[in-house]
Amino acid sequence: MTSDDFKNGQILLIDKPLHWTSFQVVNKLRWSIRKAFNIKKIKVGHAGTLDPLATGLLVICTGKMTKQISTFQDQIKAYSGTLVLGSTTPSYDLETEIDQNYPTDHLSEEKIKKATEKFIGEIEQYPPIFSAIKKEGKRLYEFARAGEAVEIKSRRIRIDAFEITKIDGLNVNFEVICSKGTYIRSLAHDFGKALNTGAHLSMLRRTKIGDFDIKNAITIEKFIADLPSE
């Protein structure tokens, strides 16, 4: 691939590693492209954020293809993950420590699988306070880390499929197909409430965005290795 290819526009499917922010991935790829082709400026953006503790598919657009980002963002997404029943965290995942434990003796495999039915279709969902959504010019996580109370408005989202694939004690593996704007962390939190217990997300992997599939994604290292070297 040449510098003109990247400027005219490419769609890159990247398998985001654990602990990286989506912004860090974009920065790394932009820097690598500029260095490889000795160019001063290149547009690079992603079509949908993944949390640092999530892995999986990031659709990265370069050059003129960045104009298509909103189109890709609007497409349905698929995830696989694991939630833990019986405890909650403020961030709804493992970014923060467990803050409360709940009884789980009343749970059964049948109840756990049946509870998914409550979330199918269009539902109202409250984003986590530990999220990058802006309010009054600040990210919600900034309020959360400062210990400030803030009102969060619900969002209308759509869950097309929510399937439990394995139950191992309090660890529940699942697959979800959902609309843009869905927070799987919030889904895990709300799922715990629906079962009269607590829950938090312990693992998340995005597998699809529209027709783009994680099977066709490459690592950041592979992308950089395939660029021209000095």
Contact between 81 and 174 under an 8 Å Cβ cutoff? The reply is yes
Q: Which residues contact 122 (CB under 8 A, 6 or more apart)?
A: 156, 157, 158
How high is the pLDDT of residue 12? 97
pLDDT above 80 (res 146): no
How high is the pLDDT of residue 230? 58
pLDDT above 80 (res 115): yes
How high is the pLDDT of residue 139? 66
Looking at every residue in the chain, the average pLDDT score rounds to: 92
Ranges of each domain in the chain = 3-74+211-226, 77-209
Q: Collapsing DSSP states into helix, strand and coil, what is residue 12? A: strand
pLDDT above 80 (res 142): no
Distance of CA 1 to the CA centre of its chain: 29
Burial class (CB in 10 A: 0-12, 13-18, 19+), 169: exposed
Residue 137 banded pLDDT, cuts 50, 70, 90: low
Radius of gyration of the chain (CA): 19
Q: Collapsing DSSP states into helix, strand and coil, what is residue 176? A: strand
pLDDT above 80 (res 138): no
Residue 153 banded pLDDT, cuts 50, 70, 90: confident
| CA separation for the pair 9, 63 (Å, rounded) | 4
In the chain, the amino acid numbered 30 is R
How high is the pLDDT of residue 2? 87
What's the average model confidence in pLDDT over 26-41? 95
Give residue-wise pLDDT tens across range 160-172: 999 999 999 999 9
How high is the pLDDT of residue 100? 96
How high is the pLDDT of residue 149? 67
Q: Which one-letter DSSP state was computed for residue 18?
A: T
Nearest to 154 by CA among 116, 123, 126, 185: 126
- Please state which of the four CATH numbers 3.30.2350.10, 3.40.50.970, 3.30.565.10, 3.30.70.270 is assigned to the domain occupying 3-74+211-226: 3.30.2350.10
CATH number listed for the domain at residues 77-209: 3.30.2350.10
Contact between 129 and 145 under an 8 Å Cβ cutoff? The reply is no
pLDDT above 90 (res 129): no
Q: Which residues contact 21 (CB under 8 A, 6 or more apart)?
A: 52
Contact between 200 and 98 under an 8 Å Cβ cutoff? The reply is yes
C-alpha to C-alpha distances, 91 to 105, 129, 166, 205, nearest whole angstrom: 25, 7, 24, 17
66-82 CB burial, b ≥16 within 10 A, e <16 = beebeebbebbbbbbbb
Domains 3-74+211-226 and 77-209 alike in fold:
yes
How high is the pLDDT of residue 108? 97
Give residue-wise pLDDT tens across range 178-199: 999 999 999 999 999 999 999 9
Q: Which one-letter DSSP state was computed for residue 148?
A: -
- Options 4, 5, 15, 51, the catalytic residue: 51
Give residue-wise pLDDT tens across range 34-87: 999 999 999 999 998 898 999 999 999 999 999 999 999 999 999 999 999 999
Please tell me the pTM assigned to this model.
Answer: 0.91
The reply to whether 168 belongs to the active site is: no
Q: Collapsing DSSP states into helix, strand and coil, what is residue 29? A: helix
Burial class (CB in 10 A: 0-12, 13-18, 19+), 94: middle
